[in-house]
Amino acid sequence: MTVALTTHSQGHGPSLTLIHGWGLNAGVWEDLARALADDFQVHRVDLPGHGAAAGETRLGDLDTLADRLAATLPISGSTLVGWSLGALVALQAAARHPQRVHRVILVAGTPRFVQAPDWPHAMRLPVLDAFAQGLAAQYRVTLNRFLSLQFHGLPDAQAALKTLRGRLLDSPPTPEALTEGLGLLRDMDLRPTLAALPCPVHAVFGEYDTLVPAAAETSFKALRPAMGTAVIEGAGHAPFLSRPAEFEAVLRSFLHD
| Residue 1 placed within a domain | no
Please check whether residue 17 is in contact with residue 78, taking contact to mean a CB–CB distance below 8 angstroms.
yes
Q: What is the mean pLDDT of residues 94-115?
A: 97
* Amino acid letter for position 141: V
- Residue 178: band (very low, low, confident or very high) from pLDDT cuts 50, 70, 90: confident
* Amino acid letter for position 65: L
Instruction: Examine the pLDDT at 186 and tell me if it is beyond 70.
Output: yes
| Residue 163 placed within a domain | yes
Active site annotation includes 237: yes
Phi and psi based region of residue 77 (left: phi greater than 0; alpha: psi -120 to 50; beta: remaining):
left
| Residue 80 placed within a domain | yes
Q: Which of 67, 209, 219, 242 is catalytic?
A: 209
Q: Which of 78, 84, 219, 242 is catalytic?
A: 84
Instruction: Examine the pLDDT at 155 and tell me if it is beyond 90.
Output: no
| Residue 238 placed within a domain | yes
Domain that holds residue 68: 6-255
Active site annotation includes 256: no
Q: What is the mean pLDDT of residues 18-26?
A: 93
- Residue 175: band (very low, low, confident or very high) from pLDDT cuts 50, 70, 90: confident
Active site annotation includes 219: no
What CATH number has the domain bearing residue 39? 3.40.50.1820
Q: How many domains does the chain have?
A: 1
What is the Cα–Cα distance from 44 to 21, expressed in whole angstroms?
A: 12
DSSP annotation of 15? E
What is the Cα–Cα distance from 192 to 186, expressed in whole angstroms?
A: 17
Give the range among 19-23, 153-157, 162-166 with minimum mean pLDDT: 153-157
pLDDT at position 70 is: 98
